[in-house]
Amino acid sequence: MWIPWNYEQQQQAIYNEVLEKTIPMTQSHTLTLHSRIVALFRDAVRTVAPDSEPEITLERPRQADHGEFACTLALQLAKTTRRPPRELASALVAAMPSSTLVEKIEVAGPGFINIFLTAAARQSVVAEVLQSNGRWGQVDLGHQRKIQVEFVSSNPTGPLHVGHGRGAAFGASLANILAKAGYRVQREYYVNDAGRQMDILAVSTWLRYLAGFGSRVAFPPNGYQGDYVSDMAHRLRDVESARLVRPDEAVLRGTPGIAVKQADIDQAADDQNEAHMDVLIANAKALLGDDYRVVHQLALHEQLADCREDLEEFGVVFDEWFSEQSLYDDGSVARVVSQLAAAGHIYEQDGARWFRSSAFGDEKDRVVQRENGIFTYFASDIAYHANKLARGFDLIVDVWGADHHGYIPRVKAALIALGLQADRLQVPLVQFVSLYRHGAKAQMSTRKGQFVTLRELRTEVGRDAARFFYVLRKSDQHLDFDLDLAKSESNDNPVYYVQYAHARIHSVLAKWGGDPALLATAALTPLSSPQEFALMQWLREYPETIELAAREYAPHMVAFYLKDLAAALHSYYNAVQFLVEDEPLKLARLALIYAVAIVLRDGLALLGVSAPETM
């Protein structure tokens, strides 16, 4: 329940106008001051241009002396009404109903309308934040629609590296923001446990296991070479002893050899190495029989367990870990290819089966089943996305690496061919990460084992810095991660800067020693300085930031907002005293900074970052 204000009658009237007491706490808080200003313009349009139904948007003026809101409505309506924009703007202003929210309205430039709010209206946001029970910033963009966010989904073939970390931080933050924006969010990890890469990992583990028993089979250059593979081989030996050992000549039977000369690293050499690996996989399956699954499952479970633990320590938790293999086990892959074939979208060529994806916007047709009868990864991906939509999600969001951008048209083409709504699939892309330590760039290669793991990154800079730095840039832009900056305790370190603002506020509240809950009813009339009004404006913009970040799939907008809010707080902190003798002034200032602390803590939580009260 809302707590009523207990001071001047004018402010009580404004409070009633800004915030209906009958609005449940679960509804959007953007439907307060902002919506009431829009309503004033809508009333004016009914008088000045009754046949028009324009979309009325309010913007924040770039200059503070241009008011709290700016509206381009006159420019929008000028063409249809055939009136000069400035003349139309003046008519709209004259037709706007009077409001206790508005101090004055000005027409500027070619027809901009600038709104100046009363001091009490501007101050009202402080009480709204303090009385929101932690819900300030919630919006109803999603209308409780069901949305799935699938992210990370790295092949379980090795430890997560710093590149995976960016996808994890982005996806988790985006899911949190979408939930804040009124969606019912499900977080999913797609486990690629049925493909060739898992076979390569299993064979890599088996070859290291054989080496422990004296095997002299050369380890293939395209096998997985990290220490973690040797560790899994040791565990396999501990469990199975020598039971899975097979003769070298049988392991190598029929292999074309390995191209290992550096000078020969061309397409022919790569093809030879891949062919060599294919024969090794086939030999392993033939020699081990049912025991091949023992090796495969050990490698899979070891890497999945490590991945799950790593992500949980990073603050990333999934509602569902979905197995690709399950789509084969229940017949979904074969079924979806049959559906496409029945609809006339499959043809055969060179022994393989092709999907006519070019007929649905893709650049070329795609193989769904090879000449050996094995379905391609694309076929299972079609089945997976059909499965997602069948589960009743109104919207599915796949967070993919930027190198997968060409994959989007083919997946959407398959959905269209199946008669499904391709626009229900959205794919934000995450660009690569370059990691810098002491000015030097670290190299990463999963197979060669030359990579910096996410776990190592967290150990070095901490979870908070890692989570915040990962979302400091737009996801489709390349990210240079500066380890030295992330570890520094200075104002140049953005996460330290934001967290320090929160800690500063709580240090003041601790010195005060009162109950912060009492600040919700503090009189706010003493707040009148430009810095105080600037902080109020930032508080007012938090719900709008959440909505825009959700619309654009852009967690970096929240990170930028927090930096700006922290900057405004630090400036205010350095300019005024809080624990002054004037009791109303003291309580008003404490109420303002406590509201700022609430928003800082909430925004940091959305990004998976803690909000310490002492630093």
CB 221 within 8 A of CB 449: no
Find how far residue 600's CA is from the centre of its chain. Answer: 18
CB neighbour class for 160 (10 Å; exposed up to 12, middle 13-18, buried from 19):
buried
Q: What is the DSSP letter of 291?
A: G
Residues 6 or more apart whose CB falls under 8 angstroms from that of 82 comprise none
CB 215 within 8 A of CB 248: yes
Q: Which of 3.30.559.30, 2.170.130.10, 3.30.1360.70, 1.20.58.390 is the CATH number of 32-117?
A: 3.30.1360.70
d(CA 455, CA 159): 8
| DSSP output for 59-122 | B--SSGGG-SEEE-HHHHHHHHHTS-HHHHHHHHHHHSPP-TTEEEEEEETTTEEEEEE-HHHH
Give the strand order in the sheet containing 112-117: 69-71, 112-117, 102-108
What tokens were used for 535? 């902080």
Region of 373 (left: φ > 0; alpha: ψ -120 to 50; beta: rest) is left
d(CA 229, CA 224): 7
Segment 388-444, tens digit of pLDDT: 999 999 999 999 999 999 999 999 999 999 999 999 999 999 999 998 888 888 765
Which helix (DSSP H) or strand (DSSP E) does residue 481 occupy? Answer: strand 479-482
CA angle 351-356-357, nearest 5°?
125
Q: Using the Cα atoms of residue 395, residue 187, residue 136 and residue 586 in order, give the sign of their dihedral.
A: negative
10-residue mean pLDDT profile of the chain (615 residues): values are 31 36 32 82 96 91 88 95 96 95 95 96 95 94 97 94 96 98 98 94 98 96 92 97 97 77 54 92 97 98 97 98 97 98 97 97 97 96 98 98 95 98 97 89 59 90 97 96 94 97 98 96 96 95 95 98 98 97 98 98 98 97
What tokens were used for 214? 């004296």
d(CA 338, CA 353): 11
CB 326 within 8 A of CB 383: no
Q: Using the Cα atoms of residue 173, residue 179, residue 182 and residue 183 in order, give the sign of their dihedral.
A: positive
Amino acid at 367: V
What tokens were used for 331? 């017949």
Q: How many CA atoms lie within 13 A of 584 on its CB side?
A: 7
Amino acid at 231: D
- For residue 614, give the nearest of 511, 535, 531 by alpha carbon: 511
**pLDDT number for residue 599:** 98
**pLDDT number for residue 445:** 54
Which helix (DSSP H) or strand (DSSP E) does residue 381 occupy? Answer: helix 377-390
Phi, psi dihedrals of residue 608, rounded to the nearest 5°? 75, 25
Grouping H, G, I as helix, E, B as strand and the rest as coil, residue 184 is: strand
Q: What is the CATH number of domain 494-606?
A: 1.10.730.10
Which helix (DSSP H) or strand (DSSP E) does residue 369 occupy? Answer: strand 366-369
Beta strands in 73-205 (DSSP E): 102-108, 112-117, 146-150, 184-191
Phi, psi dihedrals of residue 187, rounded to the nearest 5°? -105, 125
Residue found by looking up tokens 């929008």 in the block: 76
**pLDDT number for residue 595:** 98
